[in-house]
Amino acid sequence: MKSLHFFTLGIGNAWWLSGAFGILNLALIIRYRTKLSDRIFRMPPFTSISGRLLSLINMLIHISIIIYSIFLPLEITTPWFWAGLIIYLIATSLYITAMINYASSDRQLPATKGVYRISRHPMQVMTMIIFLGIGIASTSWIVISGSLAISLLMYPSLIAQERFCVAKYGQTYNKYIGTTPRYLLFI
């Protein structure tokens, strides 16, 4: 028996996972625009050209994964689909929570509450995990590899953000660095 594809149900390929994440992201930005506009769209300064280049490559991989997902069929009868969907849904929920935590934090202080207690960069980490979930759900080694590349290439951006926060928040942020992992849980 041939496996059932989402496309045969009229829903489409893996693009709907990327699309749903994009729409949720846009909705949160619109909802919290006054609280996020001056903070979320500001890129911290990089100290090296290589950091900027790696950040650009990271962004291109994000865009490539989204475009590539248009062509990836989802087979809902496989355990890979369900495992990937669960990873995607958990990471998306944590991403939304992080965005709300960030928007509701005092602008004069670093965001340290909610999901920011388990990661200094939960939005970036959850984005990587969301793409990993899409890769698993679509059984695409290209998307899985891309999400793993994102996890490596985001490092210079995270360092630049932390440097910016240390300069802006001083000892408060240094104390936060000492108690909260950069990525997740213990890393």
Kindly report, residue by residue over 109-157, the tens digit of the pLDDT.
888 999 999 999 999 999 999 999 999 999 999 999 999 999 989 888 8
53 inside domain: yes
Model pLDDT, residue 91: 96
4 inside domain: no
79-103 per-position pLDDT tens digit: 999 999 999 999 999 999 999 998 8
Q: Supply the CATH number for residue 88's domain.
A: 1.20.120.1630
Cβ neighbors of 22 (< 8 A, separation 6 or more) are: 66
Q: Band the pLDDT of 2: cuts 50, 70, 90.
A: very low
For the ranges 43-52, 56-65, 129-138, which has the lowest average pLDDT?
Answer: 43-52
pTM over 0.75? The answer is: yes
d(CA 45, CA 157): 9
Q: Band the pLDDT of 40: cuts 50, 70, 90.
A: low
Residue 21 belongs to domain spanning = 12-36+44-179
186 inside domain: no
Number of domains comprising the chain:
1
Please list the alpha-helical segments (H only) found in the chain.
15-31, 33-40, 49-69, 79-103, 122-137, 141-153, 155-169, 171-179
Tell me the average pLDDT of the chain.
86
3-state secondary structure of 9: helix
Model pLDDT, residue 108: 86
132 inside domain: yes
d(CA 56, CA 42): 15
Q: How many CB atoms lie within 10 A of CB 75?
A: 16
103 inside domain: yes
pLDDT at 33 over 70: yes
